[in-house]
Structure formats: structure tokens, C-alpha cells
Amino acid sequence: MLDLQTQRTTPQERDLIARLERLSSSAGSHSPSLTMMQEALPDIDVRIDACYLSNPLATDLFWSHFNSDASKDPRFFMRMLEAYPSQNRIIAERFSHAIAVDPGRIFIANGATEAIQAVLHNYSSHVHVNVPTFSPYYEFATPKHEVTTFQLDQDEDFVLDPERYVQSVKRSGADAAILITPNNPDGYQIPDDHLEWILSQLSDLRTVVVDESFIHFSREAESQRLPTLVGLTDNYPNTTIVKSMSKDFGIAGIRAGYAIMKPSRVNELLDHGYLWNINGLAEYFFSLFSRPEFLDEYRTVLKTYNGYIFEFKLKTSAAGFIRSYPTGANFQLMRITNGMTSELVTTLLLLRHGVYVRNCADKIGLDGEFIRVAIRTEPENALIFQALEDVLA
């Protein structure tokens, strides 16, 4: 009897599937980048990137400010190439007003992954992580680290039970615990009161990391400040907030992120190798936060984009051809229930519709066939849904 892949694909598609598998294996536990894919497989036409997670409306906003500034100053971009960027502390000082945090607590990072690596390598020896989770939280552990896990229950929509979680951390003997809210890849958001209780119970740990990279999609921006969990963590010196800027501001290519931690740790990191760690373009991005008009425009596009997220979730939750999970982020985890593998579904979406989604087969802690779909603009979301329906229904 023919397997599902043979039944549902043409010989040409099977050849592309094999080539895509080889490319994916070379990318490790992360999906191949669009550049990597287009160079290796030029016959694949990627129309919608629903794999990498970003706010496309904010990308357009950044680009409009960049072009406007470049048009006013002929040497605008040349200075970024010729001159060193400012030191970490200077950028933190300028940025601090936008997030209402003392600049001495801000570590500016070359992407959130640099902040994750810096904290794990310097302030932990045994890390306790939820699974499924963002893989760098266990991949960045050194050979001297121990990693233990707490399994989230997919039948309970990956809800984190505070008491069970705290008990698990304490039993493990870990000196560091990781919490992502909303969590990647399932999108579960820990309620504020649950999070604060957890932090109070783990106050004796060396380090607790709270990753809020997707927080802008889970709550409304206030009139004068952007959503953050910093206020909940002020009373816990062992807690570090990690924030990626690529998700909500759509600028993954320039590598920008930050972490908020106690000043002594910031000073230690900056005194040991992180003084000049970001590029001139990333510095320009951080400088935009000193412009009230940029933040006002961002809040407007964020509200519009969050409307797109809400509409997409309504549609997928009612679809009978896939099991979609509740999410507080700008992506949705989906379980394939018709016998197809996530690898086959991912490939058919790409080859037949040009829709690139995340195959979650390599995600530790997911039992079954899962894909993760990034939520895009309204027209793109309609095409993504049609593609899912065509391949899965």
C-alpha cells in the first residue's frame, strides 16, 4: 500500500521534498532562512513567510522612518558603515526612557539570543525549562550545565500549572528557571498573578528568566508605555527579563534585543566582552524610541495587527481540518489530525502555495504532528488559511 506522501505528491514534488529535507537537516533545530532556501532551492517560490515571527506592519513603519532620515542626510547610511556604534551603556541610557527602566538595569543585546546566552553562561549551572520551548534555552547550555525539564500538557492547551511547576523546579535542584510568556511554540500566556506567585516561590534561585518577547501581542499598549512585565519583577532581584525586538518590530535582520537585570550583573557583562556588541543599524533602531511620533505610530500599527491576529484565531479555531491551540502571541500552534506528517504538510504548503510554515517535528515535548503558523497581514492570512484548507481538508 502506498504511503500518504506517495499518494498525495507528484514525482517532481517528491524530488523537491527530498532536497528540502537535506536543506532542513543542515539548518539544525531551526528552520532554514529565506535567503538560505532561495539560494539552495531557486525553483521554490516563497510567497508568504509564515515561519519566522514578526509584525509586518512594524517593518513597514521602521522602513518609512529609515527612508525619510536617509533622504534628509546624504551621509546617513555612510556614517553607519564608517563609524563604530555607541557603547552599550550609551544606547541603554537613550532607550531607558521609552520603557521606564533605570538604564543601569538594561543590557542591550545583539538579538535576544545573545542575552539568553550571556545570562545562562554567567548566572546558571543547572537550568530547568518547560517543554516545548524556544530551543536556545537548552541548546545554549554548556557541557558543564545540567538541563532538566517540565512537560506541558497539550491536552490542557499547554497551560502552566503554577504549583506543579514550582514543585518541579525545586525537586530538580536547578539554580535557574526559564519562563516564556506567551510561550513559544504554543502561545500560552501565564496570568500575571500566577507569574508573580511563581517568582515569589523561586526567589531563592540564582536566576529566573522571564522571556516577554511576544508580550505586545497579548495585551493592549497603554497611552504612554508599551506592554511589559517589568513591574511584576521589580521585587525579585534574581529575575531577568529578556525581550526580542524582532517579533513585535519586525526587524530580525538587524539583531536587536535587550535584557533587564540587577545592575551588578549588567556591569559584569559589560566589563567582560559586551561593550560594543551591536551594529550601527541596530543603534539607529533603538534611537527611534526617543521619538514620540514613532511610538505613537507603532501603537497604531500594533493595534491594527492585533486585530488581524484576533480574526485569524477565530477562523482557525472553527476549522474542522486542524486542531489549533489558544495563543497570546502572533503565531498559532496547530496539530495535524488527518494522518499526514508535519514534514509532508509543511512541504506541500510551500511547494503548492508558496506558504512557508514551521515544521515542529524537532520540538522537544511535542507528541504528535505539529506545525506553527505565523500570523501576517489580512490578505496574507486569507491565503494561508486557504492553503491549509487545500492541503489538510
**CA 147 to CA 128: how far, in whole Å?**
6
pLDDT of residue 43: 76
Do 339 and 355 lie in one domain? The reply is: yes
Q: Is the pLDDT of residue 302 over 50?
A: yes
Residue 72 covered by a domain: no
Residue 130: CATH number of its domain: 3.40.640.10
Summarize pLDDT for 78-121 with one digit per residue, the tens. Answer: 988 898 899 999 999 999 998 999 999 999 999 999 999 999 99
% pLDDT > 90, the chain: 79
Q: Of 290, 323, 346, at which residue does a domain stop?
A: 290
Whole-angstrom Cα Rg for the chain: 21
**Residues contacting 134, CB < 8 A, separation 6+:** 180, 184, 185, 211
Residue 355 covered by a domain: yes
pLDDT of residue 42: 79
Work out the widest C-alpha separation in the chain, in whole angstroms: 67
**CA 215 to CA 241: how far, in whole Å?**
11
pLDDT of residue 279: 92
pLDDT of residue 14: 81
Q: Which three cell numbers stand for residue 42?
A: 531557486
Residue 77 covered by a domain: no
Residue 188 covered by a domain: yes
pLDDT of residue 4: 57
* Nearest in space to 32 (alpha carbons), one of 346, 244, 353: 346
Is the Cβ–Cβ distance between 208 and 174 less than 8 Å? no
Domain count, the chain: 2
pLDDT of residue 221: 62
Do 345 and 243 lie in one domain? The reply is: no
**CA 55 to CA 213: how far, in whole Å?**
12
Per the prediction, the chain carries an average pLDDT of 92
Residue 26: CATH number of its domain: 3.90.1150.10
Do 98 and 234 lie in one domain? The reply is: yes
Summarize pLDDT for 334-382 with one digit per residue, the tens. Answer: 999 999 999 999 989 999 999 999 999 989 999 999 999 999 999 999 9
Chain mean position to CA 157? 19
Q: Is the pLDDT of residue 2 over 60?
A: no
pLDDT of residue 38: 75
**Dihedral of alpha carbons 8, 13, 15, 19, sign:** negative
* Nearest in space to 88 (alpha carbons), one of 290, 279, 282, 274: 274
Do 8 and 150 lie in one domain? The reply is: no
Residue 68 covered by a domain: no
Owner of C-alpha cell 509564515:
50
Do 140 and 281 lie in one domain? The reply is: yes
pLDDT of residue 88: 94
In the structure, what pLDDT confidence band is assigned to residue 3 with cuts at 50, 70 and 90?
low
pLDDT of residue 30: 67
Q: Is the pLDDT of residue 389 over 50?
A: yes
Angle, CA of 62, 66 and 70, to the nearest 5°: 175
Exposure b/e, 31-48, CB count within 10 A at least 16 = b? bbeeeebeeebeebeeeb
Mean pLDDT over residues 166-195, rounded?
A: 97
Beta bridge partners of 370: 335
274 secondary structure, DSSP code? -
Amino acid at 130: N
In the structure, what pLDDT confidence band is assigned to residue 37 with cuts at 50, 70 and 90?
confident
Q: Of 290, 323, 349, at which residue does a domain stop?
A: 290
Q: Of 290, 311, 343, at which residue does a domain stop?
A: 290
Sheet holding 176-180, edge to edge: 106-109, 257-260, 239-244, 207-211, 176-180, 126-131, 146-151
**CA 67 to CA 279: how far, in whole Å?**
18
Cis amide prior to 263 (ω within 30 degrees) = no
Do 303 and 276 lie in one domain? The reply is: no
Mean pLDDT over residues 43-53, rounded?
A: 90
Q: Which three cell numbers stand for residue 352?
A: 503548492
**CA 192 to CA 76: how far, in whole Å?**
43
Residue 250 covered by a domain: yes
Domain range for 304: 4-58+295-392
Do 168 and 95 lie in one domain? The reply is: yes
pLDDT of residue 225: 74
Q: Is the pLDDT of residue 29 over 70?
A: no
pLDDT of residue 54: 93
pLDDT of residue 1: 32
Helix axes 280-287, 56-72, angle to 10 degrees: 100
Do 275 and 309 lie in one domain? The reply is: no
Summarize pLDDT for 212-247 with one digit per residue, the tens. Answer: 999 999 977 665 678 899 998 889 999 999 999 999
pLDDT of residue 223: 56
Q: Which three cell numbers stand for residue 138?
A: 537548552
Do 242 and 134 lie in one domain? The reply is: yes
Summarize pLDDT for 241-271 with one digit per residue, the tens. Answer: 999 999 999 999 999 999 999 999 999 999 9
Summarize pLDDT for 121-155 with one digit per residue, the tens. Answer: 999 999 999 999 999 999 999 999 999 999 999 99
Do 90 and 156 lie in one domain? The reply is: yes
